[in-house]
Homo-oligomer: A and B are copies of this chain.
Amino acid sequence: MSAYPPRLRGVVAPVSTPFNADLSPAAPRFIQHCRSLLGQGAGLAVFGTTSEANSLTVNEKHALLDALLDAGLPPQMMMPGTGTCALPDTIELTRHAVASGCAGVLMLPPFYYKGVSDEGLFRSYARVIEGVADPRLRIYLYHIPPVAQVSISLPLISRLLKAFPGIIAGIKDSSGDWNNTAAMLDEFRAQEFDVFCGSESFLLQTLRGGGAGCITATANVNAAAIARLCAQWQTADADAQQVALNRLRGVFQKLPMIAALKAALAWKSGDETWSIVRPPLVELGQVPRTQLEADLTAIGFELAGAAADSQR
């Protein structure tokens, strides 16, 4: 089994994608940020929702992943997002991730059509699996109904697990509904199916329920603390750590998350280009930005790692 990287556990960051002023992806800053996150103990879910992945072309995603690999970052710590609306694109992105030795892929269902059937979603995943045709493939399903508006139901997961054991490796549950996460933990307990919550607000509950960890936007600014709770969740200090995580999460949660995270990275790194987002998103306005900085200062927020390093 040595050809298979070990499964990712703990905290995984949907890595914010830095852009240049002309909106092209900024590979050097991307590498630096990923290296910092790894140093804090996080895995790398590059090309997630927080990464503005669907605002990137297939070739831009290929180039960014290759830039990380060329820089020597370990693919066994990576779980790139590869789900798109068009199955051939999903197959191409997934094939490249698997061939590169990535630990797994995080796969949105096709998300343009709404109200699609479980049968249609099953066929979508089946088609990708057959198209990639590589036993090293490990798919983490990506359930994010508030954004994708296309859900991954428990019966669909059951059917996929039965049809593709070993390949269907887990799920990121970004429903924001703990009952849904709990139901997944409960129903698939006996199987090798790793449940990640989509927010560290549910981290302790998820770990206590047998889950694998969390894949969470705020890992971009708080990976070390989240990783610490992943390591220490069975200690007496765990509940206090969860409270501290919630406090930081709360500051970002009331703002447009993606832009707010980039504003924090810009503020702490002193590199204002970090604040750039691609349309249709817009950067954080000056008023909420000032408030964000005040709120973060009030809770004693320190950004660990490379973004902060570059300020020095």
- Interface set of A (CB-CB < 8 Å, partner B): 23, 49, 54-58, 60, 85-89, 109-114, 116-117, 119-121, 123-124, 127, 146-150, 278-282
Contact = CB atoms under 8 A, between A and B. Distances in A.
A55 B112 contact: yes
Given A55-B85, A87-B55, A89-B57, A109 B280 contact: yes
Contact of A119 (B55, B121, B282): B282
B114 A149 contact: yes
Nearest to A147: B114
| Residues of A contacting B: mostly | loop
A54 B85 contact: yes
Nearest to A111: B112
A121 to B, nearest CB: 5
Q: Which of A49, A54, A150 has the most CB of B within 10 A?
A: A54
A197 to B, nearest CB: 21
Given A88-B60, A112-B111, A282 B117 contact: yes
Given A88-B60, A149-B149, A110 B55 contact: yes
